[in-house]
C-alpha cells in the first residue's frame, strides 16, 4: 500500500515523543531528525524536506507548544497541517470553461497512465451529468487509438479519432465535433515518450497554442517518485500546466511524488488514480492525504466510497450499526460481499485510523474464502451470529462439521471479525467525536 514505510516511520517518531511526557527542545530536534530521514527515504525532494523540517521545527519549539499539556499531540497536529500545506492546502478543482466545451489536454510520459486515466476522468465527469468526449491525439504509440476506444466504450464515453494524421488537426476537429454534438467536456489524449524530449514538448506547445485548452493536466506515475517530480517540472516549464493527476497510488509509492510536486512546480494535484479499474479515480484532498500518511486514516473518503458503492438504505443501516457498535457476524458477512465492490480490503483498511492493514490482507476477499466464510456463518445459530462469545470449542466443532471447514478456519474468521469490530469502534459514538477532534486536537 502507498506510503506504508513513511507512515510507519513517522508513527515511530511520534510514539517516542508521546512516551516522554514533557518535551525539551532537544527532544523535538531528535524527532525532527527522524522525520527528516523518513521523508528522504520516502523520496521526497531534499529541498522540500529541508523547508518542511524548518517550518515544523520553528512552530514546534515556538512559544506555547512545549509548555502545553499535550506537546506531542501538538507536534503531530503541526506536522499534519504542514503536510497538508505542502500538498496545496485545499482540493483544487478542475476549471470549467464558462463557454463550453471545457478542453482538457492530457499530457505525460509513456506508461504514466494517460489513456487509462483520460477515460477514468471522462467517466467521472459523465457520472456528474457532463457529456464528455475523448479525442485520440496520441498518434505516436501505435496501439493508443484502439486502447482509447476500448476504455472509452467501457465508461460509455464517445471517442473521436482520425487515425494517424497530424494530432493538432485531430484536436481541432475533435473540439469542433464536440461543439456540434453538445459535448461539454473534451479530453485530449496526447502522445508521450519514455523520457522528456524536445520534439514532444514542441509538439505539445504547438497544440496548446492551436487549441487554447482550459486545462493542461499532467498525468504522472506516483511509483517513480522523484522522476515524476522532475518530469512535472519539465512539462510545467514547457507548457505551464494547470494541474497534475497522480496515478498508481494503489501501488507501493513511497510518497515522494505526492509530497513534492506542489512544492516544486507550484501546480496542484487535482486528481488521483488508485487502480487499474476505470472507476478508481478520486479528487485529491491534501488534508485527507496528510491524515492518511500520518496513519490517522481517511474516514471521509471511506464514507464517500461507501456511499458510492452501497445503496442508500444499506449505507444508513450500516452507519447506525457502526455508531451503536452493534456490528454482528451477519453484518460482517454482508460487508465482505459489499467490500468487494469497493476495492480491496487492505485499501479500505488503509483509510481507517489505527488499523493494521496487513492483518486484514489476503484470505477474505477472494471468492473461495468468501464462500467458506459464508458457509461458516450460515452454519451458526442466529444467537451465535449475534454473540460470537458463545462459541466454545464444541460449538466450533459443530460449525466446522456443518460448513465443511476446520476449527482453525473458524478461529481465523473470528479474529478477522474482531479486527472489523475494532474498525467499527472507530465509528462509534464518542470515537466519532474523537476522530473529529483529530483535525483540531
Site residues, ligand GDP (CB under 6 A): 108, 110-117, 192, 247-248, 250-251, 273-276, 280
For residue 97 the three cell numbers come to 470553461
Nearer to ligand GDP, 247 or 405 (CB): 247
- Which DSSP category does 296 fall into? S
The H or E element containing residue 135 is strand 132-136
Nearer to ligand GDP, 132 or 273 (CB): 273
Angle at 300 between CA 271 and CA 345, to 5 degrees: 85
Nearest in space to 245 (alpha carbons), one of 264, 273, 265: 273
3-state secondary structure of 246: strand
Cα 369 from Cα 351, distance rounded (Å): 23
| Minimum distance, C-beta of residue 219 to ligand GDP, in the bound complex (Å) | 6
| Minimum distance, C-beta of residue 375 to ligand GDP, in the bound complex (Å) | 32
Angle at 156 between CA 268 and CA 158, to 5 degrees: 85
CB 277, CB 288: distance < 8 Å: no
| Minimum distance, C-beta of residue 361 to ligand GDP, in the bound complex (Å) | 16
CB 36, CB 82: distance < 8 Å: no
Nearer to ligand GDP, 248 or 262 (CB): 248
| Minimum distance, C-beta of residue 229 to ligand GDP, in the bound complex (Å) | 17
Nearer to ligand GDP, 8 or 252 (CB): 252
For residue 122 the three cell numbers come to 471522462
| Minimum distance, C-beta of residue 272 to ligand GDP, in the bound complex (Å) | 8
| Minimum distance, C-beta of residue 223 to ligand GDP, in the bound complex (Å) | 9
Nearer to ligand GDP, 2 or 13 (CB): 2
Nearer to ligand GDP, 110 or 406 (CB): 110
Cα 33 from Cα 17, distance rounded (Å): 13
The H or E element containing residue 221 is strand 215-221
Nearer to ligand GDP, 147 or 431 (CB): 147
Nearest in space to 200 (alpha carbons), one of 173, 238, 230, 229: 238
- Residues belonging to the chain: 441
Cα 389 from Cα 353, distance rounded (Å): 26
Nearer to ligand GDP, 39 or 278 (CB): 278
Cis check: omega of the bond before 436, within 30 degrees of 0 = no
- Which DSSP category does 224 fall into? G
| Minimum distance, C-beta of residue 309 to ligand GDP, in the bound complex (Å) | 18
| Minimum distance, C-beta of residue 421 to ligand GDP, in the bound complex (Å) | 30
Amino acid at each position: 500500500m502507498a506510503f506504508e514505510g513513511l507512515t510507519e516511520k513517522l508513527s515511530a517518531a511520534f510514539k517516542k515523543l508521546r512516551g516522554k511526557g514533557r518535551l525539551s527542545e532537544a527532544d523535538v530536534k531528535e524527532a525532527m531528525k527522524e522525520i527528516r530521514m523518513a521523508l528522504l527515504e520516502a523520496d521526497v525532494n531534499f529541498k522540500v524536506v529541508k523547508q518542511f523540517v524548518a517550518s515544523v521545527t520553528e512552530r514546534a519549539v515556538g512559544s506555547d507548544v512545549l509548555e502545553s499539556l499535550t506537546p506531542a499531540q501538538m507536534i503531530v497536529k503541526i506536522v499534519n497541517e504542514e503536510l497538508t500545506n505542502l500538498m496545496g492546502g485545499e482540493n483544487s478543482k478542475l476549471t470549467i470553461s464558462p463557454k463550453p466545451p471545457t478542453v482538457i489536454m492530457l499530457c505525460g510520459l509513456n506508461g504514466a497512465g494517460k489513456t487509462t486515466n483520460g477515460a477514468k476522468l471522462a467517466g467521472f465527469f459523465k457520472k456528474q451529468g457532463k457529456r464528455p468526449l475523448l479525442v485520440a491525439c496520441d498518434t505516436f504509440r501505435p496501439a493508443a487509438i484502439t486502447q482509447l476506444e476500448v476504455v472509452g466504450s467501457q465508461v460509455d464515453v464517445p471517442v473521436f479519432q482520425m487515425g494517424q494524421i497530424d494530432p493538432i488537426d485531430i484536436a481541432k476537429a475533435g473540439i469542433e465535433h464536440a461543439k456540434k454534438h453538445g459535448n461539454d467536456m473534451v479530453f485530449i489524449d496526447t502522445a508521450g515518450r519514455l523520457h522528456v524530449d524536445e520534439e514532444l514538448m514542441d509538439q505539445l506547445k504547438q497544440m496548446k497554442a492551436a487549441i487554447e485548452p482550459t486545462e493542461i493536466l499532467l498525468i504522472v506515475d506516483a511509483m517513480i517518485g522523484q522522476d515524476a517530480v522532475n518530469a512535472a517540472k519539465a512539462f510545467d516549464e514547457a507548457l505551464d500546466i494547470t494541474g497534475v493527476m497522480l496515478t498508481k497510488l494503489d501501488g507501493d509509492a513511497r510518497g515522494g511524488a505526492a509530497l513534492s510536486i506542489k512544492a516544486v512546480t507550484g501546480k496542484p494535484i487535482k486528481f488521483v488514480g488508485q487502480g487499474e479499474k476505470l472507476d478508481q479515480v478520486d479528487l485529491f484532498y491534501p488534508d485527507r492525504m496528510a491524515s492518511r500518511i500520518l496513519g490517522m486514516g481517511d474516514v471521509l473518503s471511506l464514507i464517500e466510497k461507501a456511499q458510492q458503492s452501497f445503496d442508500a438504505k444499506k449505507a444508513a443501516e450500516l452507519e447506525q450499526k457502526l455508531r451503536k457498535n452493534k456490528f454482528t457476524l451477519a453484518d460482517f458477512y454482508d460487508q465482505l460481499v459489499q467490500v468487494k465492490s469497493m476495492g480491496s480490503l487492505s485499501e479500505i483498511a488503509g483509510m481507517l485510523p489505527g488499523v493494521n492493514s496487513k492483518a486484514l490482507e489476503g484470505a477474505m476477499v477472494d471468492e473461495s474464502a468468501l464462500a467458506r466464510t459464508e458457509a461458516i456463518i450460515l452454519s451458526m445459530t442466529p444467537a451465535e451470529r449475534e454473540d460470537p462469545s458463545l462459541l466454545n470449542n464444541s460449538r466450533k466443532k459443530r460449525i466446522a462439521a456443518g460448513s465443511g471447514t476446520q476449527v482453525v478456519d473458524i478461529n481465523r474468521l473470528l479474529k478477522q471479525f474482531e479486527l472489523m469490530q475494532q474498525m467499527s469502534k472507530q465509528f462509534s459514538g464518542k470515537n466519532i467525536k474523537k476522530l473529529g477532534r483529530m483535525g483540531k486536537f
